[in-house]
Chains A and B, each alone.
Chain A
Amino acid sequence: MNVDDPAMLDVIRRCMVARIATLSRNGRPSINPLYFVFVPGHIWLGTVEWTLAARNVKADPRVSVLFEVERDRSPHRILRISGRAIVRTDPKGQRSYNLRVARKYVLTPGGIRHYLAHLRQLKLRRHYAAQNVSTGQPCVIEVTPLHAEFLGDEQLG
């Protein structure tokens, strides 16, 4: 199925956390839940260069990504995309990703309420982010879908 299919785009737009499966250079599996945004033709997932997800993509570009819409009883709510990925560290791509992520996760009524409720923890979050960046720069895993399919979500629901 094509990723431009409206039902698939609907799941991608409503899903909030994607899980990206990767393989290491030695073929060992790994999977990580990550924030993501959809841009025409690609899925962008945000992480830091030192993470297993980013290192694995550099070693082997084949990925599988699961999208699941929670608390949804519609017939199609779990989508899996297989594709090839690259790790982008260019400032333009990073800025574009950051803006899109802020719009999706922060600048929404739910996002604003969440951060207001955790004001006291924001300093720790900043320290945690700075600590991560000190060991590797932020990056975007750019996935180009090759194949997409809905999975047996009714039975799993």
Chain B
Amino acid sequence: MHIQEGAFMKRVTRNIDPSSARDLLERVPRACLCFAYDHWPQAQPIVLVWHDGRYLVGLLEEADHQPDSNQEVILLIDEGVHYFDLRALYIRGQVKQASAPPEAPAADCTWLEVVPLKTVAWDYGTLREVRDER
């Protein structure tokens, strides 16, 4: 098939505006933090509190590994089992020390703030065609 330069193709996307997935930050179905530690990828389940637009992450004090200040991390909040129910917020950022938020659960946690550098979100329930300029 010949595609004219400047023509519009259509592609299917799962991506959504991250603001459309804000409910995930309020309900937090599944959340984890990923970072490198001693050259191994670490995946830690976390307590997430979204407070005044800040991403506050509680890591259990018994967690064997924790990221250093300013280290690059991924904060993933996702939900769903079946295909069209799968949704996620994927936040790449850096961590810094933080104090426990007022609504922190009782668990003994070390609190960090994830300062986002890039955020993407997806929702397979909103698969749709979009124009894709070639």
Contacts and interface: CB of A to CB of B under 8 A. Distances in A.
Name the interface size band of chain B.
35 or more
Given A17-B80, A114-B83, A128 B127 contact: yes
Interface string A6-27: 0000000000110111110001
A80 B43 contact: yes
Which of A66, A118, A128, A156 has the most B CB atoms < 10 Å from its CB? A156
A152 B60 contact: yes
Secondary structure of the B contact surface, majority rule: strand
Contact of B41 (A63, A70, A110): A63
Given A31-B43, A33-B88, A156-B47, 4 more contacts: A20-B43, A29-B42, A105-B81, A125-B84
25 contacts: A19-B43, A27-B39, A28-B36, A28-B72, A29-B72, A31-B34, A31-B76, A32-B76, A33-B88, A64-B42, A66-B43, A80-B43, A115-B82, A118-B83, A125-B84, A127-B12, A128-B14, A131-B12, A151-B45, A151-B60, A152-B62, A152-B63, A152-B107, A153-B45, A156-B47
